[in-house]
Amino acid sequence: MTYLSSNAGNIRYNGTGRCYAGALAGSSFDELGDLENLTFSMSVSTDKIKTNRNASRATILEAETDREATLSFGLREMTNENLKMALLSDTINTLNQSASYTYQVVPPWADDLYVDLGFLNVFSTKLTGTITGSISVGGTVTGEASGATGKLAFVGSGYIELVNMSGTFQAGEPVYETQDTNYITPSGVEKFQDVVVTDSTGATRRVNGTDYSIDPDSGYIRKLSAGSMADTDVVSHDYEAVNKQYMWSMSAGSVQKKMIFVSDKKDKGPRHRWTFHKVQLNLNGDFPLIGDGAAILNVTGTVLADTSQPSGQEYFKTEIIG
């Protein structure tokens, strides 16, 4: 007997490729980026009619009742468009934070609870050195050589803390509140991921870790009941410029997309392109906000009939590319 030889070139192995999504009947697409996986499945449901003429109950007719095709994929890349698609959002809104400062603001303190300062990436600046004359909270100091300026949030023994910083102070230069009279000659200039918390007059500095704790990146601060803070204590700080966008999730109706998958040219096995005219997408499964490894948005899509396509071509097209 003669056997036909197999062709290893027909075996698709360790498939890779790219997936695109766009408007129905559209001709422009977003690339979904690196995917955890992409799986296509198709099932056909039938009804079986069995004979009643004898005890064998053999099947004498099998009739197709339903066909269903689905796509399942995991989004690794948290682009705005991917999040908008997966989380059922209508619009991506922009609310950027410009670099600026706050001075002696009273937060809505609550013992041992974090409150929102309303800004991200907060910080303060400390100049350590020799103070000559008298420097007052609320005043502005200016570096003699650098021309840098800052607003005095607290004056301590051998140091000052500043907000509303402009420029960069230099160690060794006189930093004046009053020229040649009231100034500090800093030996060190430090930027801290901290805020300046004082009593309402600015005379008493509260201590981070004893009187309060802070999450400077997220802008949350907590008054510690075991400390010595009062509900009238004030907070001063600078904050960095941050690009920020947001969306209201689960606010949109169902998401339907035209989707295209193309296998990588250098994959082992046949090269394919699949075009799905109409896919209804839904987030499917957990999305780990905290956990090990990459956070994956798992999405399932049902392939629907696109009645705008010619008869017999409503669902999807598979191309084998030589």
pLDDT tens across the length of the chain (322 residues): 666 677 887 888 778 999 999 999 999 999 999 999 999 999 999 999 999 999 989 999 999 999 999 999 999 999 999 999 999 998 999 999 999 999 999 999 999 999 999 999 999 999 999 999 999 999 999 999 999 999 999 999 999 999 999 999 999 999 999 999 999 999 999 999 999 999 999 999 999 999 999 999 999 999 999 999 999 999 999 999 999 999 999 988 889 999 999 999 998 888 999 999 999 999 888 888 999 988 999 999 999 999 999 999 999 999 999 7
Q: How many domains does the chain have?
A: 2
Q: Which domain covers residue 179, as residue numbers?
A: 100-239
Report pLDDT for 271: 92
* 305: Cα within 13 Å, side-chain hemisphere: 7
Task: Please check whether residue 231 lies inside any domain of the structure.
Answer: yes
Report pLDDT for 284: 87
Do 258 and 197 lie in one domain? The reply is no
Report pLDDT for 4: 65
Cβ-count burial of 195 within 10 angstroms (0-12 exposed, 13-18 middle, 19+ buried)? buried
Task: Please check whether residue 268 lies inside any domain of the structure.
Answer: yes
Contact partners, residue 62, CB within 8 Å, separation at least 6:
46, 47, 48, 49
> Which CATH number belongs to the domain containing residue 304 in this structure?
2.30.110
Report pLDDT for 9: 79
Report pLDDT for 254: 84
Task: Please check whether residue 305 lies inside any domain of the structure.
Answer: yes
Task: Please check whether residue 12 lies inside any domain of the structure.
Answer: no
Do 117 and 223 lie in one domain? The reply is yes
Task: Please check whether residue 49 lies inside any domain of the structure.
Answer: no
Distance CA(256)–CA(135), nearest Å, equals 64
Report pLDDT for 82: 93
Distance CA(86)–CA(75), nearest Å, equals 9
Do 139 and 82 lie in one domain? The reply is no
Report pLDDT for 1: 62
Pair 226, 213: CB distance under 8 Å = no
Do 119 and 212 lie in one domain? The reply is yes
Do 124 and 216 lie in one domain? The reply is yes
Do 124 and 232 lie in one domain? The reply is yes
Task: Please check whether residue 127 lies inside any domain of the structure.
Answer: yes
Last residue of a domain, one of 239, 264, 283: 239
Last residue of a domain, one of 239, 262, 292: 239
Do 125 and 227 lie in one domain? The reply is yes
Do 75 and 109 lie in one domain? The reply is no
- Rounded to two decimals, the pTM is 0.85
Last residue of a domain, one of 182, 208, 239: 239
Task: Please check whether residue 2 lies inside any domain of the structure.
Answer: no
Do 180 and 310 lie in one domain? The reply is no
Task: Please check whether residue 50 lies inside any domain of the structure.
Answer: no
The amino acid that residue 49 corresponds to is I
Q: Where are the alpha helices (DSSP H) in 68-156?
A: 80-86
Do 267 and 307 lie in one domain? The reply is yes
Report pLDDT for 149: 98
Do 201 and 227 lie in one domain? The reply is yes
Do 126 and 228 lie in one domain? The reply is yes
